[in-house]
Amino acid sequence: MKKVWCLFCMTLLCWILFCPSVFAAGDAQVLRVVAPWKAKGVNIDKSGFIFARMGCVEMLTTADRSGHISGLLAESWKVAEDGRTWTFILKSGITFHDQTPLTGEAAARSLKVALKNKNVLSKARVESIRAVGPLSLEIVTSEPFSALPAYLGHYSNGIVSQASFDENNHIKTIYGTGQFKLASFEGDSLFRFTAYPDYWGEPSKISHTEYHAVPKGETRGFMMKAGQAEMAFTLSPMDAQQLQNNNEFTVDTLSIPRTRLIILNTSLPFFSDKTVRQAVSLAIDRRGIATALLRNPPSAAEQLLPPTAAMWHDPDLAPLTYDPQKAAALLAQAGWKPGSDGILVKNKERFSFEIITYAARPMLPPVATAVQDQLKKVGIEMKITVGESSLIPEKHNDGTLQAALVARNFGQIPDAVGTIYGDYGPKPGAWGALGWQSDSLNRVLAEYLATFDQNKAQALRNQTLEILQQELPVIPVTWYEHIVAYSNRLEGVHIDPYEIKSYVRGIRWKK
C-alpha cells in the first residue's frame, strides 16, 4: 500500500513540475482583457461600456486624449442659426456586423431608444431625433446646447443595426460597427469578439479578443501573473507594484477625470460657512495621502479635475494647498474654539460629523481614515461609516447626508460640463452639491452651454473651475488613477483617460 501511495505522489509531483502549461497557456492569438465591470445583460444602456471599450460598438463622436470632440461615425455636423437644430452627416460605406449599411434611420433609432431609457441625452435637452437623409440625421434640442456632440460620445449612445432590436425596441443582440464583432458570451462575465473583416477604418491587427469580468482585484492580478490575461484594468497600487517588478508586464498609471472628493452638506451649520469649508480643505494633506496610500504623488487633487482633462484643468488656478495653521486660524475666525476634549465647539455645538463612504472602490475607506486623522489635528471630529454606495444618493435625496467621500466620474461625457452641470448646476443630482447653490455658477454654466465660440467657452470653463475652487461645495482630495497592466507581448497600447475608446485599437502582437 505504501509503495502505491509513494508511486502516486511521485507521479503527481513529476507531472506538476515537468508538464508544460497545457491548461493555462490558452490560445496565444486571443487578446484577453480582465476588468472589474460585469455586464448587465447584452444591451447598450447598461453594458454599452464593455462593447464600446472592446471595439464592438461605436458612437457618432469620440474624444481625443485632451477631451476635444471629433467625429467617429459622424463625418461632420452643423448647427442651425437657432442653435437648437443639429444635422449630423454620417460617414459613408460603413456596415454593421450584420452587413447592413449604417444609415441615418439606423442611427436615429439607436439614439431614440437611448433617449427613451433616460440616458445622458435626456439631460442634453433633446426634443426630437429623426433621419433626414440616407446618411444624415437631425437632432433638435429645446434650447441651444453646444455640448451635444460631447454627449453623443457617451457609450449609451452606441449605434447598432436595426436587427439588434426586437419589436419592443429591446436589444436582442449586438450588431455594431466596430473593429470587433460579438462572437459569443457566457453569462454576464465573458464576452468573445472576432475581428470584423469589413471594418470601415484601419483593420485590427488582433484577430480575437475576450473580455473577462473579474470583480476581485487580486484575482485580476493572479490572472495576469498566470499568463491568463494580456491586459488588466483597475489594479490596486499593491498589485500594480508586484506586476511592475515582473519583466513580463508594463504597468501604466494614468490620472483620469474621476476625482475622490468630499461632498459636504452645506445646509449644516458646520459647512454653511465658506471659510469653514476652506479650512477643512486646508487641513487635508492631499500629497501625503497620494504618496503614502496611493503611491502616486501626482494624484493629489489641487483642483477639481486632473491635467488629463485638459479642457477642464486650469494650470493657472491657485492650487488647493495643505496648511493646517491657516486652517486653524480660519476656524478660529469663524468662531470655532477648542473644547475640553480638543474638538472645536461653537454655540455649544461640537464640530463633529459623519462621513459615508463605500468599499466598492477599495481605496476610499483608507483615504477617509487618513482625512479623519488630518482633520482631528485641527479639532474636527469625523466619524466614518462604510456602507453600500447606494446609501449616499439615498441620504443625499432625503437631505440626511452630512458628508460623503465618493469617486466622481467627470469623464463619462468627454466634456466635463455634463457632470459639472448635473452636480453643481441649478438642480444638483444625487452625487452633487448638497444645499449649495451659486447664481454666478449657474449663469456661467448656462452661458457655456449656449455658446459656440471656443475661446469664450474656455474662459467660461476657467470661471467655473474658479468658482468651485473658491466656494468648495465639494472638496477634491485625490484624482483617480487608472492602473493598467499589459503584457510585453503587446505593442501600440494607448490608454484612453476617458475610457470611451476601444482598448484594442492600434494594439498588435510583438513579433
Identify which of residues 120 and 468 has a Cβ nearer to other proteins in the complex: 120
Q: Give the shortest CB-240-to-other proteins separation in angstroms.
A: 16
Residue count (the chain): 511
Three-state SS letters, 485-496: EEECCEECCCCC
Q: Give the shortest CB-223-to-other proteins separation in angstroms.
A: 5
Identify which of residues 212 and 505 has a Cβ nearer to other proteins in the complex: 212
Q: Give the shortest CB-369-to-other proteins separation in angstroms.
A: 21
Residues 226, 503, 254, CA angle at the centre, nearest 5°? 85
Binding site for other proteins (CB under 8 A): 15-17, 19, 21-26, 37-41, 43, 45-46, 117-119, 122-123, 156, 170, 186-190, 212, 214-216, 218-219, 222-223, 225-228, 360, 388-391, 393-394, 397, 406, 409, 412, 422, 429-431
Identify which of residues 394 and 491 has a Cβ nearer to other proteins in the complex: 394
Identify which of residues 30 and 131 has a Cβ nearer to other proteins in the complex: 30
CB-count exposure of residue 24 (10 Å: 0-12, 13-18, 19+): exposed
Q: Which residues, at least 6 apart from 413, have a Cβ–Cβ distance to it below 8 Å?
A: 120, 147, 150, 151, 153, 154, 419
Measured distance CA(116)–CA(111) in Å, rounded: 9
3-class state of residue 393 by DSSP = helix
Phi, psi of 231 (to 5 degrees): -140, 135
Q: Give the shortest CB-188-to-other proteins separation in angstroms.
A: 7
Angstrom distances, CA of residue 32 to CA of 38, 171, 220, 252: 15, 25, 11, 17
Identify which of residues 214 and 283 has a Cβ nearer to other proteins in the complex: 214
* 8 A C-beta contact, residue 22 and residue 202: no
Residue with cell 494614468: 254
Identify which of residues 41 and 399 has a Cβ nearer to other proteins in the complex: 41
Measured distance CA(301)–CA(417) in Å, rounded: 18
Identify which of residues 285 and 481 has a Cβ nearer to other proteins in the complex: 481
**Tell me, what DSSP letter sits at residue 309?**
S
Q: Give the shortest CB-424-to-other proteins separation in angstroms.
A: 15
Q: Give the shortest CB-128-to-other proteins separation in angstroms.
A: 18
